[in-house]
Structure 1
Amino acid sequence: MPESSARPYPFLAFKFAVEIMRAGQSKPLAEAAFADCDGLEITMEVKTIKEGGAPDRAIRVAGHVSYANLTLKRGMTENFDLWTWFKDSVADPRLRADAEVVLLGPDGSERARFLLSRCMPVKLKAPALSAMSTAVAIEEMQIAYETLTFKAGKAAA
């Protein structure tokens, strides 16, 4: 079977990377891998206009677009970069960052990117603690973003 007509396989949900960059900085904001990433979501409001004299028909037009919050979870370490970002954003609400969620293939090659602009942290949750547990301490951050765009990876282009 020629390569161009090969059947595409779905992406794997566990092969991803998250890159968060503050404006003017050369190194990424977060230095740890995330275990969970959820909230890559766009919703378009639909407005319905009913036409006078046509009770069996309605016109549907596109309305405002809204975005979900991105939720990131990771095992807590001695790297407190997310806590610093949240503290800095409270001190100066104008601070923003851009983020990219990269989908990776089984071989680690880049397959696609979700680009999030003008991100700001809106929720930071410390791990649930219990003296009876042996589970990893998981911290969680929610990030609001203004736009979400999709870019096919080098292999898919």
Structure 2
Amino acid sequence: MTRSRPDPVLGFNFTVSLVETASAGATIQATFGVAPAQAGFSECSGLDVTLQPETYAEGGNNGALLKFTGRASWSNIRLKRGIVTAAHLWQWHYDFIEGHGKRRDGVITLQDERGKAVRSWRFKRGLPVRWVGPSLNAMQSQIAVEEIEIAHEGIRATGAGGGNLVSAVSNLFS
């Protein structure tokens, strides 16, 4: 009897959606029919978490230090895309410089070759901590790329599932 082994999903087909966080301590309450802001990105990184180990020296046990899990530490999410006429990422970052920025929750969804969601990563209370503009060089014909770095308060990974994106975002961390 032969078993089929699934092939890994390719990492180039993904979507990123951002919606305004409802309030400082709450998650987003999106309504059906209102689509979150979506943008096309060429690169997404920073989907990782590290547990800081805590050590404990147990009395009478000189042979080892006991290890326990401590706090989780989340990396910032970095998104890159080609410059387009709309300056939404710059404006989101600049609003914080001006003192009236609003955090955003988001969903990053990896899709298969048919566009079906395979896995999603949901982050909460995103804060744009860094924006990088394009490198300009008259001797090259590369696409002008901008990058936004988003600090956040946690990521949850979910497998493939039904439902639309708005309902997924409305149920962030519920």
Q: Please classify the TM superposition score into its range, dividing by the shorter chain length.
A: 0.7 to 0.9
Alignment partner, residue 13 of structure 1:
11
User: Where do 1:53-68 residues align within 5 Å?
Assistant: 53-68=60-75
Structure 1 gap segments, 5+ residues each: none
Alignment partner, residue 37 of structure 1:
44
Match of residue 76, structure 1, among 80, 83, 100: 83
Amino acid at match of 1:119: G
Match of residue 92, structure 2, among 85, 91, 97: 85
Q: CA RMSD of the aligned region, Å?
A: 2.1
What's the secondary structure of 1:82's corresponding residue?
helix
CA deviation map 1:30-76 (0-9, x unaligned): x5310000000111100111122222122111101110000000000
Alignment partner, residue 171 of structure 2:
none
Alignment partner, residue 144 of structure 2:
137
**Paired residues of 2:16 and 2:39 also in contact (CA < 8 A):** no
1:94 to partner: Cα distance = 6.3
CA–CA distance in structure 2, aligned partners of residues 93 and 58 of structure 1: 48
What's the secondary structure of 2:39's corresponding residue?
coil
CA–CA distance in structure 1, aligned partners of residues 101 and 56 of structure 2: 38
Q: How many residues align?
A: 152
Tell me the TM-score normalised to structure 2 length.
0.80
What's the secondary structure of 1:52's corresponding residue?
coil
Structure 2 gap segments, 5+ residues each: 23-29, 163-174
Identity of aligned residues (%): 31
**Paired residues of 2:17 and 2:39 also in contact (CA < 8 A):** no
CA deviation map 1:76-111 (0-9, x unaligned): 011101011112222336621001110101111011
